[in-house]
């Protein structure tokens, strides 16, 4: 398997946030560090709170009701 560094994201969780390590590189490409991402329809945040996911689901449901 070949990993594409341009499409790869890094999410730091927990105590690592207080003292972040050096950036990760793949094939000379720096991996982007994000605070939230979507995995299998679930919005995961670096503090493991559900606010982003609940907001996304609420927005989706509200758009379906308006139809």
pLDDT in tens, 7-48: 889 888 877 767 777 888 888 888 898 989 999 999 999 888
Of 6 and 53, which is predicted with more confidence?
53
Question: What pTM value is reported for the model?
Answer: 0.67
Which residues fall within 8 angstroms of residue 56, CB to CB, at 6 or more apart? 43
Integer angstrom CA distances of residue 12 from 20, 49, 59: 8, 14, 26
Q: Are 36 and 52 in contact (CB under 8 A)?
A: yes
Q: Are 52 and 43 in contact (CB under 8 A)?
A: yes
State how far the Cα of 51 lies from the Cα of 66, in Å rounded to an integer: 23
CA 17, 18, 22: angle at the middle one, nearest 5? Answer: 65
Q: What is the pLDDT of residue 27?
A: 81
Q: What is the pLDDT of residue 53?
A: 93
Of 62 and 15, which is predicted with more confidence?
62
């Amino acid at each position: 398997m070949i990993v594409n560094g341009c499409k790869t994201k890094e999410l730091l969780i927990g105590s690592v946030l207080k003292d972040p390590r050096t950036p990760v590189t793949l094939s000379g490409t720096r991996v982007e560090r994000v605070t939230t991402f979507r995995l299998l329809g679930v919005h995961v945040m670096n503090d493991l709170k559900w606010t982003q996911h609940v907001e996304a689901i609420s927005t989706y449901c509200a758009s379906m009701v308006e139809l």
